[in-house]
């Protein structure tokens, strides 16, 4: 699931946690979901996707600490707040990122989960 949040006053997609039924884990379902999400966001011209999640899992899709892109989260999120920088051809390096910078605010329904 992805929903609009805001970074520096501009819309940026926030991704909800990807979960796969334990009986189906290890079949590549989560990886296919993430790959499809990154591809669709790229095709739609999005500058990035942000999420809170396990860096070990999400780094394989190009996610890096969001702070490397100039996107700030809540201090307690630490290394779990990540972003994947996107460009015309898909994932780009943090140095190539041209999207918004600043504090990220999740959409209100996510924020209420606290």
Domain 2-113, CATH class in plain words: alpha beta
Q: Is the pLDDT of residue 95 over 70?
A: yes
Q: Is the pLDDT of residue 106 over 90?
A: no
pLDDT, one tens digit per residue, over 10-21 is 999 999 878 899
d(CA 32, CA 11): 25
pLDDT, one tens digit per residue, over 57-67 is 999 999 999 99
**What pLDDT, on a 0 to 100 scale, did the predictor assign at position 17?**
76
The mean pLDDT of the chain is 92
**What pLDDT, on a 0 to 100 scale, did the predictor assign at position 108?**
76
- Strands 90-91 and 81-87, by their bridges, are antiparallel
d(CA 58, CA 64): 8
Q: Which two tokens stand for residue 96?
A: 């190539």
Reference 17, options 71, 81, 75; nearest CA is 81
Q: How many helices (H) and strands (E) does the chain have?
A: 3, 8
pLDDT, one tens digit per residue, over 21-41 is 999 999 999 999 999 999 999
Q: Is the pLDDT of residue 112 over 90?
A: no
């Amino acid at each position: 699931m992805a929903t609009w949040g805001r970074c520096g006053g501009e819309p940026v997609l926030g991704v909800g946690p990807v979960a796969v039924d334990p009986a189906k884990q290890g079949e590549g379902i989560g990886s296919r979901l993430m790959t499809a999400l990154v591809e669709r966001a790229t095709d739609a011209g999005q500058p990035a996707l942000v999420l809170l999640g396990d860096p070990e899992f999400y780094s394989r899709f190009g996610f890096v600490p969001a702070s490397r892109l100039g996107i700030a989260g809540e201090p307690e999120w630490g290394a779990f707040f990540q972003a994947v920088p996107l460009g015309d051809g898909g994932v780009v390096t943090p140095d190539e990122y041209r999207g918004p910078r600043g504090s990220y605010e999740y959409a209100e329904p996510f924020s209420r989960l606290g």
